[in-house]
Amino acid sequence: MTDVLDKDFEKITLKKIGAYFGAEVSGADLSGEFDDVTFSEIHQAFVENEVLVFRDLIISTDDQIRFGQMFGELTVHPFSPNSDKIPELIIFDNKEDNPPFGTDVWHSDETFRQCPPLGTCLRALDVPEVGGDTVFASMTAAYQGLSDRMKNFISGLEAIHDFKPFKQLFDDDDEGRRELQRFELMYPPVTHPIVRTHPVTGNKSIYVNPQFTIRVIGMNEIESRSLLTDLFDLAKIPEYQYRHHWYNKTMVLWDNRSVQHYAVHDYWPKRRQMERVTMEGDRPFSSEENVIPDALKSRKSPQPIGANVNHGGHSPKRQFVRDLD
Ligand SMILES: [Fe+2]
């Protein structure tokens, strides 16, 4: 059965691909400049569906870069394999002598930054027939699935994020330690709310991840570890997931403010070539703070959507979960 969404769109067609989130976009030609209406519709589809899939694209690297720039400034990842010519472009060329590094763990991209990227756009150039999927988890759905007691408990809490997994990239010698210290000064640990409010939709999501989140502020070590483990485990619940199998010429755009992802490393040592651009985002906030919605809109964003994400008209709470109170 095909679920066609948002029939009001003029320029694009959306097909639902996950129960709570995820949609496939067709009808948009991304191989050049596109008009404001097309961008506005794609942007609305992006924030409402959290993950967008574009298939059978005949586009160039420049087209992908231009597409990313419609959403905001592109960022340069401090630790990834960036292109020499275009530092904003990350080139993944994983193969036998270049195994994938550090992406087989649940995360939202670069939450060690004060202003983590709002979205990531990844395009498959040459991918294996089997394996190498990316699994996404809607942390909006995960939040909505919590009991009211748990929502109240984590409301207002903050956690520290740190680029810890990348520290092993530095050599264990004087020069390596000096270099690491330089990066630690550039990217000191940052504090983000555990419940993040999406700046466009206003939806709340769980904003901690096992790759970068190290501690809950105001808790002792045991309490912090225990709470973080429980929250990290939410991404593993299949009902909150959409698993994407890649084909060449497919591009996926995901909203780092509302989803986490996990790149499955089961394809290695086969070759997998992808290109990625990442768009600068806002400083995460929780709606318990004072919010001025107009000031929080991303550059080039259309008018705020306002409506909550429908998640296909279903409550994301799993059917067998009952409130215990
Ligand atoms: Fe990632």
Q: Given the residues 43, 63, 77, 107, select the one marked as catalytic.
A: 107
Domains in the chain: boundaries: 4-312
Integer angstrom CA distances of residue 218 from 72, 191, 215: 34, 12, 9
Report whether 263 contacts 98 (CB < 8 A): no
42-89 pLDDT, tens digit each: 999 999 999 999 999 999 999 999 999 999 999 999 998 888 899 999
177-233 pLDDT, tens digit each: 999 999 999 999 999 999 999 999 999 999 999 999 999 999 999 999 999 999 999
Helix (H) or strand (E) holding 64: helix 61-69
C-alpha Rg value of the chain to the nearest Å = 19
- CATH class of segment(s) 4-312: alpha beta
- Near ion ligand 1, which residues have CB within 5 Å? 109
User: Phi first, then psi: what are they for 324, rounded to 5°?
Assistant: -95, -5
* pLDDT over 80 at 319, yes or no: no
Query: What's the 59 CA to ligand 1 centre distance in angstroms?
Result: 22
Q: Given the residues 63, 109, 162, 255, select the one marked as catalytic.
A: 109
CB atoms within 10 A of CB 126: 12
Query: In the beta sheet, which residues pair with residue 119?
Result: 255, 279
Tell me the residue ranges of DSSP E strands in the chain: 4-5, 13-16, 23-26, 51-54, 90-94, 119-126, 134-138, 158-161, 190-193, 195-197, 204-206, 213-216, 241-244, 251-255, 259-263, 272-279
